[in-house]
Amino acid sequence: MIIDPKNQTRQENYKLMIGSIVPRPIAFVSTKSKDGILNLAPFSFFTAISSAPPTICFSPGRKADGSKKDTLVNIEATGEFVINVVTEEMAEAMNETATEIPSDMSEFEYAGFTPVTSESVRPPRVQESPINLECKLLQIVNVGIDGPGGASLVIGEIVRFHIADFLYENGRIDTGLLNPIGRLAGNQYTTLGRRFGLDRKPWPPKS
């Protein structure tokens, strides 16, 4: 099957993208509005960029009416946010935060998550998450149309790592104990499942 995206609707292209790019890690982003309202929302268009400095990015799309999501509005206003890793135990409550509640309400309270004061940024961390990445905004790149289907790429520098002690040993994280979830297509999610290791081959090959 060969498909030209220009011959499809944005929704048809979206379905092909989220079914092809799997599994996707989830950035559970906490922000704070200029009026002090705490916001919490999940985004699965999320990845690392560099380690010097440690830099990540995620992409909040526009709402169905074409307006910006509260997460983006808050980051534009404050330049700060926290990425919280989502475990399988957090999945149901995380899904509650995807509901578009009024901007003057907090998803922390709505979904039952506990805000914890961060060290270097104003938005709080999620206590229930075993890994929190405090971030300061580096750049926002607007991509696509300024309406439904468009998005903004948020690039941030990690200024603090918070890692639960039971996960951390000798500078590494035990991803098996972490038990993170990933996003698939539609309303489907996944856990890590079977893991295997592959060593990189040197060049030139050893004789």
Structure tokens at 77: 């206003």
- Which CATH number characterizes residue 33's domain? 2.30.110.10
pLDDT bin (cut points 50, 70, 90) of residue 186 is very high
pLDDT bin (cut points 50, 70, 90) of residue 17 is very high
205 pLDDT exceeds 90?
A: no
Question: For the chain, what is the domain count?
Answer: 1
Average pLDDT rounded to a whole number, residues 194-205 = 92
Is residue 151, in this structure, part of any structural domain at all? yes
Q: Determine the pLDDT at residue 33.
A: 98
Ramachandran area for residue 36 (φ above 0: left; ψ -120 to 50: alpha; else beta): left
Among candidates 170, 181, 80, which has minimal Cα distance to 130? 181
Decide: 43 and 146 in contact? Cβ < 8 Å: no
Say if strands 151-163 and 54-58 run parallel, antiparallel, or are unpaired.
antiparallel
Is residue 174, in this structure, part of any structural domain at all? yes
Q: In whole angstroms, give the CA distance from residue 69 to residue 148.
A: 11
Q: What is the pLDDT of residues 148-177, one digit of tens each?
A: 999 999 999 999 999 999 999 999 999 999
Q: Which domain holds residue 88?
A: 15-183
Q: What is the DSSP letter of 198?
A: -
Is residue 125, in this structure, part of any structural domain at all? yes
Q: Which residue has tokens 């993170």?
A: 180
Is residue 101, in this structure, part of any structural domain at all? yes
Q: Determine the pLDDT at residue 207.
A: 72
Average pLDDT rounded to a whole number, residues 139-156 = 95
Bridge partners, 24 (sequence order): 183
Is residue 104, in this structure, part of any structural domain at all? yes
Q: What is the mean pLDDT of the chain?
A: 97
Structure tokens at 28: 């559970």
Among candidates 154, 159, 134, which has minimal Cα distance to 142? 154
Q: Determine the pLDDT at residue 192.
A: 93
Share of the chain above pLDDT 90, in %: 96
Q: What is the DSSP letter of 7?
A: G
**Residue 129: Cβ within 10 Å count:** 25
Q: What is the pLDDT of residues 73-106, one digit of tens each?
A: 999 999 999 999 999 999 999 999 999 999 999 9
Q: Determine the pLDDT at residue 94.
A: 98
Is residue 204, in this structure, part of any structural domain at all? no
Structure tokens at 114: 């506990």
Is residue 137, in this structure, part of any structural domain at all? yes
Higher pLDDT, 150 or 207: 150
27 pLDDT exceeds 80?
A: yes
Is residue 5, in this structure, part of any structural domain at all? no
Q: Determine the pLDDT at residue 75.
A: 99
Q: In whole angstroms, give the CA distance from residue 94 to residue 107.
A: 9
Q: Determine the pLDDT at residue 38.
A: 98
- Segments in the chain forming alpha helices (H): 10-20, 70-78, 91-96, 107-111, 175-178
**Residue 66: Cβ within 10 Å count:** 12
